[in-house]
Amino acid sequence: MDANSFSPNAILIQGTTINDLESMISHLLDIKLANASTPKVDENPKDRLYKRKVAAEKLQISLVTLDKWTKQGIIAARKIGSRMYYTDSDINNALKKVSKV
């Protein structure tokens, strides 16, 4: 292959072994994971009602995961009309359940 056949995002690495490359990637992942934020459990929940999107943001999960957790009973929800709402207590209890796993 010539240099023109690589994509613009391609990186050519020479002069390193697979073990060196694995070690560098592992080190970078360790740094990134150490700096990753995890949701905090609020000790004094206020029990406001949150829509799905806000609840998912507070839990740092996707809406699909929030729906799965609701169906699996990991998080409780309140149905008002056709909409689902979550309280601070619901969110904190779900965080406690997930952190035990």
Residues 17-55: tens digit of each pLDDT: 888 888 888 988 888 877 777 777 666 666 789 999 999
Of 53, 76, 74, 73, the C-alpha closest to 64 is 53
Rounded to two decimals, the pTM is: 0.56
- Domain spans, the chain: 3-34, 49-100
Task: Write the DSSP string, 28-64.
Answer: HHHHHHHT---PPPPSS----EEEHHHHHHHHT--HH
- Cα–Cα distance for residue pair 76/73, rounded to 1 Å: 6
Residues 46-60: tens digit of each pLDDT: 678 999 999 999 999
